[in-house]
Structure 1
Amino acid sequence: MSLPANMQCVEISTPGGPEVLRVASRPVPRPGPGEVLIRVAAAGVNRPDVAQRMGKYPPPPGAPDLPGLEIAGTIAAIGADAGGLSVGQSVCALVSGGGYAEFCLAQASLCFPFPKGYTAVQAAALPETFCTVWHNVFQRGALKKGESLLVHGGSSGIGTTAIQLAKAFGSTVYTTAGGGAKCQACLDLGADRAIDYKSEDFVQVIAEATGGRGVDVILDMVGGTYLNRNIKCLAPDGRHVSIAFLEGSKAEVNFLPVMVKRLVLTGSTLRPRSVPEKAAIAGALRANVWPLLDQGRLAPAIFATFPLHQAEDAHRLMESSAHIGKIVLAL
């Protein structure tokens, strides 16, 4: 497949608001060992993209400076030792950056086939969100069948994914969301109880719903004052997993209930992890989750799509929190 010399992309001209995103032209990259070059048909928009644009989440060493952590398209070129992938094959991929572009490099070990019947827009909404949820809820949080999960921000891309995955694997799911429409969307995705944080106290609701026992796992994207409230919501031997800090990364913690209830406080970020570490997460997804996607038992909740040159508008929507589910750029 012949490749052009240059491609269109969206770059961050300077740290700032959505208006700093601009369309630019850059050379098309060439794949190295273990890499493939993907002709991008769609790219997911995620909170880390917004944080990078604001100058709060710089790319790890060696990663592209362009935003975009998940893509879908067709393989345009292959480097050496690319793991049996072929030119022309449709794949989605977890990438460390560069997704807001017509072409993007990906590690072969972090590529996934399109689930059965999926469009590129649907496939692009999978890698970052599903890898994040699988690792944090099921690997770090060790959620098991019959246990309970509290997901904060249930109407977000992460939240809608966590609700579906936890229900698919036999857990009771509680979630918080802002307003009746978002709470209803969470219920429609399978949540057992959606708590409107604008009018309800989730600590009280969880206590009442669980008979005072609490939940086994909490997936938290808020941080700040939520940490101590979450600790109150955890059952003995519960696990608290932090993946973002919309309210701030610092909190004063009373460790007495942590010790008395034998709690685990953990968390992670995905982007800076090594390729072998991310490949292990991807392998677990292929084995445990991709069959459910193929069967139609799970699906990404996609709220809106924008053309690449309207990435600024996509970021404005993301920051408004008016969306339910995923936002995707379609090329």
Structure 2
Amino acid sequence: MPGQMMRRIAFSGAGGSEVLRMEQAARPAPAEGEVLVRVLAAGVNRPDIQQRRGLYPPPPGTTPIPGLDIAGVVEAIGAGVSQWAPGDAVCALSNGGGYAEYCVVPAVQCMPVPRGFSFVQAASLPEVFFTAWNNIIWLGRLAEGETLLIQGGTSGVGLAGIQIARALRQARVIATAGTDEKRRVCLETGAEAAFDYRGDWDEAVRALTGGADVILDAQAGPYTQRQLNLLRPDGRLVFIASHLGPTAEVNIREIVRRRLTLTGSTLRPRPAAYKGALAAELVAQVWPLLESGAIRTRIHAVFPFGDVAGAHEVLDANAQIGKVVLAVDPALAETIPAGAAC
């Protein structure tokens, strides 16, 4: 392994898709507790776009190479790893480095490729399902039969969240989206209703449900107080980004009076143990539903590894409905690994 080379994607600076470049680099080696995965497919996510723009630097000590979810075959294992062996088909939430032919990942952040899934389909799972579970189930504490509002229902996280909430909490789910087609997809995925996020979505939700118990939002800014107004007593507002602005003026008295929780999260800086606990819950509770078809993944487009710029341009235009995936090894990315199962 020492001295062997691979292709990977790097940035020539901060900017548009033109700063993405293919380069040769030495293959990484797994340290203690890590596995080396031969990457066959990799997901393209909003954090990759923000990192490319210079707005989301990787945490200290992590690789500057983008790519947070991968699917492929274990090539080698580090010391202390017993749950995986070379040849195992896995998908994983990486700490970066997924835009490459080989990627090292903490072993606890790997999950088996669900039975019947191709590597492309498996690569669409980790980042969005980790994020949805962390924010809706752990931080949002969505309980049985509560009402959940998801802002941006056709993002990968939004589609995963709609299905998790419906299948595992029997929640009422309302979503927002920017086009008729996207709102139709929200309804097909399990949302009770879908509204235009540029309109009076808060009044529409209030008229339909009387309010929300949990709101998942990536906009923040001027949406913040409108969302707090929409929450029922003891409601939870969970931010995963702040695309409309990093600050907001809010009524603290109402937060206190109605016992509201306002929180947010990023997963990338979290320790492996935290992400490993998330992985274990997903494999136990979500993977069987993926295998049975009760929860589905939606692939918007698959791009060859050499056209990573084209993949980024889809997200730049906010044109995706579901996940965009890179076929790092086009000959194998669409294949279904033999015996892949939970």
Normalising by the smaller structure, the TM-score range is over 0.9
User: Which residue of structure 2 lines up, in the alignment, with residue 277 of structure 1?
Assistant: 274
Cα deviation, 1:65-101, whole Å, max 9, x if unaligned, reads 1000000000111111113211011000111100000
> Which amino acid letter does the alignment assign opposite residue 134 of structure 1?
W
Using a 3 Å threshold, how does the CA distance of structure 1 residues 3 and 166 change in structure 2: closer, same or farther? farther
User: Which residue of structure 1 lines up, in the alignment, with residue 177 of structure 2?
Assistant: 177
Aligned to 2:100, the other structure's residue is in SS state: coil
Distance 1:57 1:317 in 2: 19
User: Which residue of structure 2 lines up, in the alignment, with residue 91 of structure 1?
Assistant: 90
1:135-214 to 2 correspondences below 5 Å? 135-169=134-168, 170-198=170-198, 200-210=199-209, 212=210, 214=211
Distance 1:222 1:3 in 2: 45
Over the matched positions of the two proteins, sequence identity in percent amounts to 48
Name which of 282, 287, 304 aligns with 2:284.
Answer: 287
User: Which residue of structure 2 lines up, in the alignment, with residue 109 of structure 1?
Assistant: 108
User: Which residue of structure 2 lines up, in the alignment, with residue 130 of structure 1?
Assistant: 129
Distance 1:102 1:151 in 2: 34
Aligned to 2:253, the other structure's residue is in SS state: helix
Number of aligned positions between the proteins: 327
User: Which residue of structure 2 lines up, in the alignment, with residue 54 of structure 1?
Assistant: 53
User: Which residue of structure 2 lines up, in the alignment, with residue 217 of structure 1?
Assistant: 214
User: Which segment drifts farther, 253-262 or 64-73?
Assistant: 253-262
CA contact (8 A) 1:31 1:105 kept: yes
CA contact (8 A) 1:34 1:83 kept: no
Name which of 219, 237, 241 aligns with 2:238.
Answer: 241
Distance 1:308 1:182 in 2: 27
User: Which residue of structure 1 lines up, in the alignment, with residue 338 of structure 2?
Assistant: none
Q: Tell me the TM-score normalised to structure 2 length.
A: 0.93
Distance 2:240 2:136 in 1: 10
1:121 and 2:135 equivalent?
no
Aligned to 1:87, the other structure's residue is in SS state: coil
Aligned to 1:270, the other structure's residue is in SS state: coil
> Which amino acid letter does the alignment assign opposite residue 258 of structure 1?
I
Following superposition, the deviation at residue 3 of structure 1 comes to 8.0
Aligned to 1:283, the other structure's residue is in SS state: helix
Distance 2:113 2:83 in 1: 16
Aligned to 2:325, the other structure's residue is in SS state: strand
> Which amino acid letter does the alignment assign opposite residue 16 of structure 1?
G
Aligned to 1:248, the other structure's residue is in SS state: coil
Stretches of 4+ aligned residues off by more than 2 angstroms: none
1:291-302 to 2 correspondences below 5 Å? 291-302=288-299
Query: What is the Cα-based RMSD across aligned positions, in Å?
Result: 1.2
Distance 2:181 2:94 in 1: 33
Aligned to 2:182, the other structure's residue is in SS state: helix
Following superposition, the deviation at residue 4 of structure 1 comes to 7.2
Cα deviation, 1:290-316, whole Å, max 9, x if unaligned, reads 121122211211100111111111111
1:308 and 2:305 equivalent?
yes
Cα deviation, 1:121-161, whole Å, max 9, x if unaligned, reads 10001111101110110010000110010000001111111
Distance 1:289 1:84 in 2: 20
CA contact (8 A) 1:10 1:309 kept: no
Cα deviation, 1:228-287, whole Å, max 9, x if unaligned, reads 110111111100000011111111111122122111111100001111111111122122
Unaligned runs of 5+ in 1: none
Aligned to 2:235, the other structure's residue is in SS state: strand
Distance 2:17 2:297 in 1: 25
> Which amino acid letter does the alignment assign opposite residue 260 of structure 1?
R
CA contact (8 A) 2:151 2:197 kept: no
CA contact (8 A) 1:83 1:109 kept: no
Distance 2:31 2:152 in 1: 38
CA contact (8 A) 1:9 1:23 kept: yes
Aligned to 1:249, the other structure's residue is in SS state: coil
Distance 1:309 1:77 in 2: 25
1:11-26 to 2 correspondences below 5 Å? 11-26=10-25
